[in-house]
A and B are shown apart, each in its own frame.
Chain A
């Protein structure tokens, strides 16, 4: 029998194809790299990150306190904190809302079912950027300007600059107080279990917290004041943050809702029937039988949604919320280090995404092992 030539032998072909592919990828990277180095050289530029230590010279509207005389590095840090602030809040809210939407989609109540359906179709099928602009320009900015805004003087202000409530000013006793309250809560829970009285577990920490507050005076209260142009003091939820958060949450929860619905529908019908035959009602069945099993199916795609939300938060640049992308493009532009700024952006998002992905995988694994025989 004639020997099969190696280029027709499937054992070799698969390896060969992979080698060819690898070579092509490396070649492409080398070309891009050479191209970049050459054009930088041609323009007498160097790829260095030394600009990071120089003073930024621009202002950042919100986030951790930042002075224009501080370094670019600090500016990037403020941007990262702002990204995490909107991203993590968004993840929590989108998860909660997504579960509500997903379960509503399966509801036998016609109205609830239809509302959830329209919600999902609407938010899933319109671009996120448009939604962000919509919530910013057509909703949040339509609130009256700071001076004409809704308010309870000294306590609450709502205007198109955002919502301001009193803030807490930490004192020397703050940490002691927080630790004492945490210890108090743990103790009460332990006690409540021991004496089998849940009321104690709820009331005792409350009493402890109030008494502790009166004795230690752990926080001062920072009352917001209406200045000439805007509200100063207190803690503010800015218009930009609100619009971005709302858009991200609504958009992501539509996808999350579909994932939840899919996961629940993937559970065998027999589980419902068995549960019903044991005398459990709809809510109990969902809570005790269906959702725990559905979680196993929905956690990996849910993780993808978390990654999407985090990455989508970079659209903040469109509405002046100073997230890391916004700050980095300003920094790159002001200092002329666009390439470096882009590199930093890539590294930041990659790091955040990999961490989220790792946590989701860990959670998922713990689940599957518990579920395995």
Chain B
């Protein structure tokens, strides 16, 4: 009797330990849901609206991964993460993947223990002031108080910038950007800084966007990239290829609507993309036609962009570097072959 209890206890302990080691793909499939870390306060990228629905550019990529892995874009559980807790959430396994305006850096890849996918958005850090402020360029802010959120690359970038230009400033860091904007609106901060896209999003969401002015300089490179916990290369491959699928689709001019018409295509590149011929996706645990599920769920990269950030949206962020390489941008879909 006692021996049995002990054996049971040992068994449950070992299973408790090994459960954490199972690979992500199996965990997600077994759970039947993708747990996706997102921003919930950045309209256009990741935003929780008053109906409790998440939407945005990053959110669409969560849906794309769910479509690829589970065949259903709605099987996503969104977890709102602040900048300060996003890496811990991945380290502890609380979320499977994070799509949340996060800059890919060497220390995050190395010391922080993250593995990054392809860049989904090329961004750069900018500074925003009130329209009525006399400031024309960042160095005019000598002696000013600048606010941003905590645990971001922007803290160090702005510090570096002012050190290089030998100017003084004071930095106040808040845990979430709503508080940053509250302090900014009250005049406690003379300027706020974060990625240019984040500033555009904040300005677009404001009661009167013309109150704010974004300064022309970009002071850093901010490649925004999804990330997963280090050490599960299969899972990282999946994230990587879901992103590339959206880019390839745009290159092939395959959209959410017209995808079925391509089934009869004679182009072997397109046939491999649609999984009509082997493309190696089985190697990372997905079906050969996973890209079809992805495109049917969210559309190609261009569609995702236009829907969330494009001309018809409030944000209206020009595509710039985020155009396809064929149009002078940096976006390049690695071949399905």
Contact = CB atoms under 8 A, between A and B. Distances in A.
Given A31-B13, A39-B91, A58-B156, A320 B186 contact: no
Contact of A333 (B17, B150, B174, B187): B150
28 contacts: A31-B13, A31-B17, A38-B17, A40-B113, A42-B231, A43-B230, A45-B91, A57-B160, A58-B155, A59-B171, A61-B172, A137-B182, A141-B183, A229-B141, A229-B143, A240-B172, A320-B172, A320-B179, A326-B150, A326-B173, A329-B84, A330-B155, A333-B83, A333-B87, A334-B151, A336-B107, A336-B108, A338-B88
Contact of A336 (B87, B142, B155, B229): B87
B145 interface: yes
Contacts of A141: 182-183, 186-188
Interface of A: 27, 31, 34-35, 38-40, 42-45, 51, 57-59, 61, 68, 137, 141-142, 144-146, 160-161, 227-230, 232, 239-240, 317-320, 326, 329-330, 333-338
Interface of A is mostly: helix
Nearest to B9: A27
Contact of A44 (B143, B151, B230): B230
A314 B112 CA distance: 24
Considering the complex of A and B, which 3 residue pairs feature the smallest CB-CB distances, nearest first?
A336-B112, A333-B151, A145-B187
Contact of A338 (B21, B91, B143): B91
A149 B1 CA distance: 78
B91 A329 contact: no
Given A31-B16, A43-B113, A229 B144 contact: yes
A40 B112 CA distance: 10
Contact of A58 (B16, B91, B159): B159
Contacts of A317: 150, 175
A38 B20 contact: yes
Interface in B67-112: 83-84, 87-88, 91-93, 107-108, 110-112
Contacts of A338: 87-88, 91
B298 interface: no
Nearest to B150: A330
A249 B4 CA distance: 56
A137 B180 CA distance: 11
A336 B150 contact: no
Nearest to A140: B188
Interface string B159-186: 1100100000111111100010011001
B222 interface: no
B116 to A, nearest CB: 13
A333 B188 contact: no
A51 B112 CA distance: 12
Given A317-B150, A335-B111, 5 more contacts: A42-B229, A43-B229, A45-B111, A61-B170, A227-B143
Contacts of A34: 17
A320 B147 contact: yes
Contacts of A39: 20, 91-93
Contacts, number: 132
Nearest to A330: B150
Given A39-B92, A42-B231, A137-B182, A320 B174 contact: yes
Interface of B: 13, 16-17, 20-21, 83-84, 87-88, 91-93, 107-108, 110-113, 141-145, 147, 150-151, 155-156, 159-160, 163, 169-175, 179, 182-183, 186-188, 190, 229-231
Given A31-B17, A59-B170, A45 B144 contact: no
Contacts of A227: 143
B170 A230 contact: yes
Nearest to A36: B92
Contacts of B188: 141, 145, 160-161, 239
A227 B143 CA distance: 7
Most buried by B among A34, A142, A336: A336
B145 A161 contact: yes
Nearest to B191: A229
A240 B147 CA distance: 13
A229 B145 contact: yes
A285 to B, nearest CB: 49
Contacts of B145: 161, 229-230
A68 B151 contact: no
Contacts of B159: 57-59, 68
A334 B83 CA distance: 11
Contact of B183 (A31, A44, A320): A320
B20 to A, nearest CB: 6
B247 to A, nearest CB: 28
Contacts of B182: 137, 141
A44 B109 CA distance: 11
A144 B187 CA distance: 8
A68 B163 contact: yes
Contacts of B169: 59
A137 B183 CA distance: 7
Contact of B190 (A45, A229, A334): A229
Contacts of B17: 31, 34-35, 38
Nearest to B115: A43
A39 B143 CA distance: 45
A112 B70 CA distance: 67
Contacts of B110: 336
A315 to B, nearest CB: 11
A333 B102 CA distance: 13
Contacts of B171: 58-59, 61
B200 to A, nearest CB: 23
A146 B20 CA distance: 53
Given A239-B188, A338-B91, A44 B113 contact: yes
Contacts of B87: 333, 336, 338
